[in-house]
A = this chain, B = another copy of it.
């Protein structure tokens, strides 16, 4: 059983989906399981919307909108036009084809299927060749205590464009959630566990907050590597840098490494951050400096390959 055989990636939205894409094109079919944050999930217009699951699914199905990273390429917005005419909320832009996903997910959930099975069916219909798993089937909702009061994730992230200053982040419902059997098995059998370049606090921590997931990771015999979402003191996309600063974390790969330290064996950071390698290594982690900015499909494959090859080199030594 080699490093490549059973790879588990923890992922949020766009950043995690990019690495998922790279790994999906580097690993053998069926070798990749992506455990996706559902702390961003919410009910909108009565529909169950799972933004991160959809971003990963659309990305692996080659349907994602390349200019935004989320949503479907070439989608139309007729339903939203009508909602706007009614004076309804349009801050969360739902494309028409994207709505089809939310409609069918909601339908299946209302029929009593767990989100894991719903996700499996959606992915099968889109011919996604790897396994995408929600972090759990019970609702967990990321909430933020901010200078503008307590906010639900989507209010903070989309409606208020992550402008409020955050004091604290909580994962409502996490304490009573359980990893699904599929998540538990994937972690137990993993030959490599990767923390994607997603927001540590908003994308990865909700996953780790589900009881049993962090324990299965820290006790896993698999190599556990993170890809730093911070490059050159900033985030590639989204509020990771701003939020880490507001929560008193150092905005660098070292800050990321400290945050995950107990759970990791190594971290991949960008060449521009090479200076942080000694400090990270003094935490007991391995480091690899590479090209971590993923713009093109080639970038994604190269980073995925670099990551897997690096872990193979370490673990077979």
A residues lining the B interface (CB < 8 Å):
45-48, 75-76, 78-83, 85-89, 95-101, 103-104, 106-107, 110, 121-122, 125-126
Contact = CB atoms under 8 A, between A and B. Distances in A.
B82 A97 contact: yes
Contacts of A122: 86
B76 A106 contact: no
Given A78-B95, A78-B97, A78-B100, 14 more contacts: A45-B106, A46-B106, A46-B110, A75-B78, A76-B78, A79-B97, A79-B100, A79-B103, A82-B103, A83-B103, A86-B100, A87-B121, A87-B125, A89-B107
Given A99-B82, A99-B99, A88 B107 contact: yes
Contacts of A95: 78
Contact of A104 (B76, B86, B103, B104): B86
Contacts of A89: 107
Nearest to A125: B86
A106 B46 CA distance: 6
Nearest to A74: B78
Secondary structure dominating the interface of A? helix
Nearest to A77: B96
A106 B76 CA distance: 21
A125 B86 CA distance: 5
A223 B101 CA distance: 51
A107 B45 contact: yes
11 contacts: A45-B47, A46-B48, A76-B78, A76-B96, A79-B100, A81-B97, A83-B100, A83-B104, A85-B125, A86-B122, A89-B107
B88 A126 contact: no
Contacts of A46: 46-48, 103, 106-107, 110
Contact of A80 (B98, B100, B110, B126): B100
Contacts of A100: 78-83, 85-86, 88
Q: Which of A48, A81, A82, A89 has the most CB of B within 10 A?
A: A82
Contacts of A99: 78-79, 82, 96, 99
Contacts of A80: 100
A103 B88 contact: yes
A76 B75 CA distance: 12
A127 B292 CA distance: 54
Contacts of A97: 78-79, 81-82
A276 B79 CA distance: 48
Contacts of A101: 82, 86
A93 to B, nearest CB: 12
A107 B110 CA distance: 17
A55 to B, nearest CB: 16
Nearest to A107: B45
A123 to B, nearest CB: 10
B125 A104 contact: no
Contact of A96 (B45, B47, B96): B96
A96 B110 contact: no
